[in-house]
Amino acid sequence: MKTIDDLDVSGKRVFLRADLNVPLEGTTITDDGRIRAVLPTVRKLAEAGAKVIVASHLGRPKGAPDPRYTLAPAAARIGELLGKDVAFASDTVGESARETVAGLGNGGIAVLENLRFNPGETSKDDAERGAFADSLAALADIYVGDGFGAVHRKHASVYDLPARLPHAAGGLIAAEVDVLKKLTEDVRRPYAVVLGGAKVSDKLGVIEHLLEKADRILIGGGMAYTFLKAQGHEVGKSLLQEDQIPAVTDYLARARERGVEFVLPVDVMAAAGFPDLETKAPANPVAAPADAIPADLLGLDIGPESRKLFASKLADARTVFWNGPMGVFEHPDYAEGTRAVAQALVDNPAFTVVGGGDSAAAVRILGFDEKAFGHISTGGGASLEYLEGKTLPGLAALED
């Protein structure tokens, strides 16, 4: 896989596929982590004299313009962070895009409107997707892929466009792949994996694959209750995927056979209902044993004894991968489990990887220094699929 160091970009129009899929409240960006992550590549291309055309998706519009998902705030934020003017095209391949690109000088930067405003970007029809890729290719001379959060998607700007232009990986994708190789090849042991989030079904593939690689798997978040139920425990009104109990039971049995340690919560913080995430009003949680959650309560975070247990199981690890919060971290009454895991990673000199998504958001929301972790991924879904052993379309398209 070539990198931008292998390219001569001076005076060339470089299509940079980034991941600017940032959370918005109205037009306010609430977490600019993904923008900051791609800035080194933007800056490097501009300083090398490229005409940089930044493109991305944001949200899930229905293949048509939707002002809720405009990339205008992201374009403005890039300009603020770089301290220079950044042009913005109000469409993706139309008149505004063509005129904006034509107006770029060497070292200039422009951002195209949301790629998903065009139905060809996400189409499952190869011809429709290819036609959109042709239109994008007409804007540029070179393609650089640096939107790691989208490389698991077979979309026009991720998969089809690189085939139409000389291409290379940006610095962010190169770094992400290097980190993921350290999690799958010649891993330093003990290797501990922490998985959380709402649904166990979202993590089945990665659990399957990690049974072959990890020494220890810690389970928290909403998905933990399906594991607890599979062990015959009462989980009250907690989130439960009963249809996944057979698969979970099988994983627990296979883990015992392989000597892989599964660590589940021993207590939880529970309440009668879901907390108000807008007002953050006190939720009055109560601690309950994980093997006997009262029938009228639902678990919303791991409890104090589980926090100690999880921290102890991470203390001696030399490699740690974490994906998914331990509870409803957006509410202060249920953030302590996620905080405890993040702190355990900070305290450990091991190679620690935060696997994107809500985990990365939690690290920033809870006030941790991002530099205290070995790596914070920009792509939760892409990281998981890589660890599942899947071929990621966007990475395959960048290979020579």
- 197 catalytically annotated: no
153 is in an annotated binding site: yes
Does 57 count as an annotated binding residue? yes
In our burial notation (b when 16+ CB lie closer than 10 A, e otherwise), range 257-277 reads: eeebebbbbbbbbbbeeebee
Tell me whether residue 218 is annotated as binding: no
Q: Is 359 annotated as a binding residue?
A: yes
Other CB atoms closer than 10 Å to residue 37's CB: what's the count?
Answer: 26
Residue position matching structure tokens 């991002």: 370
- Give one DSSP letter per residue of 189-253, joined into a string: SSEEEEE-SS-GGGGHHHHHHHTTT-SEEEE-STTHHHHHHHTT-B-TTS---GGGHHHHHHHHH
Q: ∠279-283-289 over CA atoms, to 5°?
A: 150
21 is in an annotated binding site: yes
d(CA 59, CA 78): 18
Answer yes or no: is 356 a known binding residue. yes
**Contact assessment for residue 230 and residue 356, using Cβ atoms and an 8 Å cutoff:** no
> With contact defined as beta carbons under 8 Å apart, do 97 and 139 qualify?
yes
81 is in an annotated binding site: no
Q: Check if 68 is active-site.
A: no
Residue 58 labelled as part of a binding site: yes
Pairing of strands 24-25, 51-55: unpaired
Distance of alpha carbon 176 from its chain centroid, rounded? 11
- Catalytic (active site) residue 94: no
357 annotated among ligand-binding-site residues: yes
Question: Residues 147, 357, 374, 394: which is the catalytic one?
Answer: 357
**Does 164 count as an annotated binding residue?**
no
Answer yes or no: 145 catalytic: no
Which of 142, 122, 120 minimizes the C-alpha distance to 132? Answer: 120
Per the annotation, does 116 bind a ligand? yes
Tokens of 240: 């439960």
* C-beta of residue 31 within 8 angstroms of C-beta of residue 363: no
Residue 330 marked in a binding site: yes
Q: Is 222 annotated as a binding residue?
A: no
Residue 124's contacts (CB-CB under 8 Å, 6 or more residues apart) are none
Neighbour count for residue 364 (Cβ, 10 Å): 15
Check 12, 17, 34, 339 and give the catalytic one: 34
User: Annotated binding residue at 299?
Assistant: yes
The one catalytic residue among 43, 44, 199, 254: 199
60 is in an annotated binding site: yes
The binding site comprises 19-21, 34, 57-60, 116, 153, 203, 299, 330, 356-359
The binding site for ATP comprises 203, 299, 330, 356-359
The binding site for substrate comprises 19-21, 34, 57-60, 116, 153
Known catalytic residues are 34, 199, 357, 381
